């Protein structure tokens, strides 16, 4: 007999059971579901809706069910559809008919919204922790490479030299914004929908705030229809997660390029690479490639969830059961990627000499020759044209700017003097970009200092929220 079987005269078609059940994936919510039930039953007793004795029995039974599920000793069945009804059935098996009082003043609709929020808020803290660890790895590489110059690129063509530290700090900035978005979203996730009932509230004199407080929520979702039918907090998470994996994917692409023989700028540690079954010489950056590849599934989950929700009338519709797998998969995908990236970045070998060689043997100091002429009062547009001629000459002569004699320079402009050689030195070129956010060493050091305070804030946020999300008694 189904928990809802009263008005039915026939058993459910087996294929329907199979098709509509969510237990295969929503069992992930078991412990959150039970914590929610413990808070609910406690409130029912305090509000004199059920007796203290009944509540005590139910609570004890729920604890046993929690243990059994954790130990893999509980049988979860498709016939009981989802985690909510499986837990209730197990509870009744454990404590008898009194277990049937648990669902007083509650619906699976507010219950599932609660479970999703409990699961997500805990995941947010874990993901921010992992992001912080990755930022620390990037900053470690930045600090170790404050004198490492490499070509900066636009259109993947060498453009102007930058410090490798500057490049690492660009990613630190991106991940700081990601962490900021995730921590900001926490306050919208951290609201209790419980008490919304199926859609309209409940006739019992429940205390929604009491339940919200005992589960460490910041308050309740105000409107009962909204509480059971919106999943914007899921969409927001998937969107924020998409940005995280997009940033990771770009970094992945750089690692793949940099570790190729063509670039030869970094070598990833053996522990984070894999080999080929056929070609003995191969060492592949599989982790970076796979993270780049997995960005597709995360974006897919975002579009999937938006599409599932877009035409739904209020309030709950079964369509919304589709909210779970994409969210779970996204959480796992991010945890996996971030957990690997932090040590992979920290252990990567930066080939400073190769980077420098790439800067020395190219024209990425050409802008500085133009700027030098501007400093001698030549309009920038004319300076640009002169330097274009110089570069063309160099290409024809198989030389770089620093190989030209002063006579050769003067052949293009007599504004050029002996001091040009110091100006065109790659380190001087880098340090000349001495503006806020520029690649000059002192400016990059400023960025590191600034990011350190941001990281401290992230850590303080984590510390303050680890306790909030841990409601397991």
Residues taking part in catalysis:
155, 276
Report the C-alpha gap between 20 and 82 in whole angstroms.
9
Long-range contacts, stretch 253-258, CB < 8 angstroms, 24+ apart: 253/288, 253/292, 255/285, 255/288, 255/344, 255/348, 256/285, 256/288, 256/289, 256/292
- Of positions 28, 101, 108, 441, contacts ligand ARG by CB under 6 A: 108
Report the C-alpha gap between 237 and 120 in whole angstroms.
8
- Of positions 38, 87, 112, 266, contacts ligand ARG by CB under 6 A: 112
Q: Binding pattern to ligand ARG, positions 136-175, x when CB under 6 A?
A: ----------------------------------------
CB under 6 A: which stretch of 218-226, 316-324, 386-394, 419-427 binds ligand ARG?
Answer: 316-324
- Of positions 37, 242, 321, 365, contacts ligand ARG by CB under 6 A: 321
Q: Which of residues 22-81 bind ligand ARG (CB under 6 A)?
A: 22, 26
**Which residues have C-beta within 8 Å of that of residue 459, sequence separation ≥ 6?**
132
Identify the three-state secondary structure at position 157: strand
Report the C-alpha gap between 372 and 7 in whole angstroms.
87
Nearest approach, Cβ of residue 233 and ligand ARG (Å)? 15
| Spatial contact of 68 and 90, defined as CB atoms under 8 Å apart | yes
Closer residue to ligand ARG in complex, CB, 24/260:
24
Q: Is 82 in the site for ligand ARG (CB under 6 A)?
A: yes
Nearest approach, Cβ of residue 323 and ligand ARG (Å)? 7
**Which residues have C-beta within 8 Å of that of residue 251, sequence separation ≥ 6?**
171, 288, 341
Nearest approach, Cβ of residue 447 and ligand ARG (Å)? 45
CB under 6 A: which stretch of 176-184, 214-222, 313-321, 325-333 binds ligand ARG?
Answer: 313-321
Half-sphere exposure of 103 (CA within 13 A, CB side): 19
- Of positions 194, 268, 291, 320, contacts ligand ARG by CB under 6 A: 320
Nearest approach, Cβ of residue 26 and ligand ARG (Å)? 6
Report the C-alpha gap between 195 and 63 in whole angstroms.
22
Q: Is 109 in the site for ligand ARG (CB under 6 A)?
A: yes
Tell me how far CA of residue 360 lies from CA of 55, 183, 215, 383, 423, in angstroms: 76, 43, 60, 22, 13
> How many residues interact with ligand ARG (rule CB under 6 A)?
10
Q: Which residues bind ligand ARG (CB under 6 A)?
A: 22, 26, 82, 108-109, 112, 316, 318, 320-321
């Amino acid at each position: 007999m189904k928990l809802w079987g009263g008005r039915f005269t026939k058993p459910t078609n087996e294929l329907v059971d199979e098709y509509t059940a969510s237990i295969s994936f929503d069992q992930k919510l078991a412990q959150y579901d039970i914590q929610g039930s413990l808070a609910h039953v406690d409130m029912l007793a305090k509000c004199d809706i059920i007796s203290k004795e009944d509540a005590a029995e139910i609570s004890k039974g729920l604890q046993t069910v929690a243990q059994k599920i954790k130990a893999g000793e509980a049988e979860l069945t498709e016939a009981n559809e989802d985690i909510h009804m499986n837990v209730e059935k197990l509870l009744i098996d454990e404590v008898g008919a009194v277990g049937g009082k648990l669902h007083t003043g509650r619906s699976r609709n507010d219950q599932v919204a609660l479970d999703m929020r409990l699961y997500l808020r805990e995941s947010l803290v874990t993901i921010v922790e992992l992001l912080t660890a990755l930022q620390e790895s990037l900053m470690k590489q930045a600090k170790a490479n404050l004198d490492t110059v490499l070509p900066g690129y636009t259109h993947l063509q060498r453009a102007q030299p930058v410090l490798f530290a500057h490049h690492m700090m660009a990613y630190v900035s991106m991940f700081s914004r990601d962490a900021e978005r995730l921590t900001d979203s926490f306050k919208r996730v951290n609201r209790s929908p419980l008490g919304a009932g199926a859609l309209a509230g409940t006739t019992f004199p429940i205390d929604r705030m009491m339940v919200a407080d005992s589960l460490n929520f910041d308050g309740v979702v105000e409107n009962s229809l909204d509480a059971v039918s919106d999943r914007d907090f899921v969409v927001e998470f998937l969107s924020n997660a998409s940005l995280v994996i997009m940033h990771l994917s770009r970094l992945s692409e750089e690692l793949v390029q940099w570790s190729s023989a063509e670039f030869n700028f970094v070598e990833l540690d053996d522990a984070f690479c894999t080999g080929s079954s056929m070609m003995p010489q191969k060492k592949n950056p599989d982790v970076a490639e796979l993270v780049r590849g997995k960005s597709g599934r995360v974006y897919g989950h975002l579009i999937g969830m938006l599409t599932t929700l877009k035409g739904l009338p209020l309030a709950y519709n079964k369509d919304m059961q589709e909210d779970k797998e994409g969210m779970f998969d996204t959480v796992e995908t991010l945890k996996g990627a971030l957990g690997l990236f932090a040590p992979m970045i920290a252990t990567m070998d930066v080939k400073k000499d190769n980077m420098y060689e790439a800067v020395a043997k190219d024209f990425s100091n050409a802008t500085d020759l133009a700027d030098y002429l501007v400093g001698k009062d030549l309009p920038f547009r004319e300076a640009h044209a002169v330097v274009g001629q110089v570069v063309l000459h160099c290409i024809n002569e198989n030389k770089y700017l620093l190989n030209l004699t002063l006579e050769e320079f003067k052949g293009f402009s007599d504004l050029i003097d002996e001091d040009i050689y110091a100006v065109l030195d790659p380190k001087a070129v880098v340090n000349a970009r001495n503006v806020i956010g520029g690649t000059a060493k002192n400016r990059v050091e400023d960025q590191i200092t600034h990011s350190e305070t941001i990281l401290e804030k992230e850590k303080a946020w984590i510390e303050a929220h680890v306790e909030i999300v841990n409601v397991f008694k």
